[in-house]
Homo-oligomer: A and B are copies of this chain.
Amino acid sequence: MTSIPPSLSFDSRTEWLRGEGRASDVVMSSRIRLARNLAGCPFPHRGTRVHRQASLQLCKKAILAGNLSPRLIWVDLHDASPLERMLLVERHLISKHHSKSRPSAGPPAAGPDDPRGVAISLPDERVSIMVNEEDHLRIQVIRTGLALSECWKEIDEVDNRLEAALPYAYCPRFGYLTSCPTNVGTGLRMSVMLHLPGLRLTGDIERVKRAAGDMNLAVRGFYGEGSEAAGDFYQLSNQTTLGKSERQVLEELEAQIIPKVVEYERVARRTIATKRLAAVEDQVYRALGILTQARLISAEEAMQLLSHLRLGVVLGIIKQIDQSLVNHLMLLVQPAHLQRVLGREMDQDQRRIARGDLLRTKLAR
């Protein structure tokens, strides 16, 4: 069985949790992923188990031989426990879909032990490559702050090295071919995780979401597609993969759209800090009060309170806690992390108690 190193649950060297980088008061992290497939091999959801075993072997070999990162570990997800898989989902290293394993439109042969895996760069967890998710390859680079250019530089390099070793399914007319037509072309998705408590407090968040939609951007929650905006975190990502080059998308997002949203959020924060400081301070300190005293707490509530706390840290209301700790706690309160950190399986009630204990310990002055 694949062993996931303990560092993966609470290592402070995880790059995207650092709370640093450009515009890190608003942009928690930047992420780019590329969808790629092997030519001459049925795409995961169309192939048989044997096909997927073959694509897994091929990709795994190329990834591990590709010198893509100073240290890269490989996890065979079909051998990993549900808890280990959930841990990787919580860390944004694999998708929920990939953790559940069965390709959505897969033939009956596909099952929970369907051949698939992920490569992860350590200790920064900046690069991860899922194999046999919706596409044969899903390459991801994730970094702290607004850093799409840096992500692009890194992922482009990884992609080039893999392309040199693997026969990518590419069509001169459409570009890279993918399982889902929405990804055909560049196979590119660029996204940023934004913390927008100010815009929620001023009530402008819906306007910003509509504007993003008008610009053909998707707005999602902390855990991507289908997840709610937990704790005022919003993932903003491009939808277009045809007709626009990677450079164009990058420039549009990084130089134009994101800075504008960041500015909106900063203005909102300044507004509330001048006009409604008492209300914001109250929200921040109440969050601190509950986080440091509650004996039972759900992951959802903890996320929401940590979001308030994060705003307090960013606004300088709370000085004894840093943003990186708050970011890490957002992961540590998730079910799989909690169980991994405490080294035992727990049901929901036990987790609510353990989560309270953990938060009190970590936030104790």
Binding site for B on A (CB under 8 A): 278-279, 281-282, 285-286, 288-297, 353, 356
Contacts and interface: CB of A to CB of B under 8 A. Distances in A.
Nearest to A291: B289
Contacts of A289: 286, 288-294
Nearest to A349: B278
A295 B317 CA distance: 12
> Could you tell me the dominant secondary structure of chain A's interface residues?
helix
Contacts of A279: 296
Contact of A282 (B288, B291, B356): B356
B294 A285 contact: yes
17 contacts: A278-B295, A278-B296, A279-B296, A282-B294, A282-B295, A282-B356, A285-B294, A285-B295, A286-B290, A286-B293, A286-B295, A288-B289, A289-B289, A289-B290, A289-B291, A289-B293, A290-B290
Contacts of A294: 282, 285-286, 289
Contacts of A290: 286, 289-290
A288 to B, nearest CB: 6
Contacts of A282: 294-297, 356
Contact of A281 (B281, B291, B295, B297): B295
A352 to B, nearest CB: 8
Contact of A288 (B278, B281, B293, B296): B293
A38 to B, nearest CB: 52
Number of this chain's copies in the complex: 2
Contacts of A278: 295-296, 353
Contacts of A296: 278-279, 282
A296 B289 CA distance: 13
A350 to B, nearest CB: 10
A269 B29 CA distance: 48
Name which of A282, A292, A297 has the most chain B CB atoms within 10 A of its CB: A282
A290 B294 CA distance: 10
A297 to B, nearest CB: 8
A91 to B, nearest CB: 28
Contacts of A286: 289-290, 293-295
A290 B288 CA distance: 8
Given A285-B295, A286-B294, 6 more contacts: A278-B295, A282-B295, A285-B294, A286-B290, A289-B293, A289-B294
Contacts of A356: 282
A262 to B, nearest CB: 27
Contacts of A285: 293-295
Nearest to A280: B295
Nearest 6 pairs of A and B residues by beta carbon = A289-B293, A289-B289, A282-B295, A285-B293, A282-B296, A281-B295
A285 B290 CA distance: 8
Contacts of A295: 278, 281-282, 285-286
Name which of A293, A294, A356 has the most chain B CB atoms within 10 A of its CB: A293
A297 B286 CA distance: 10
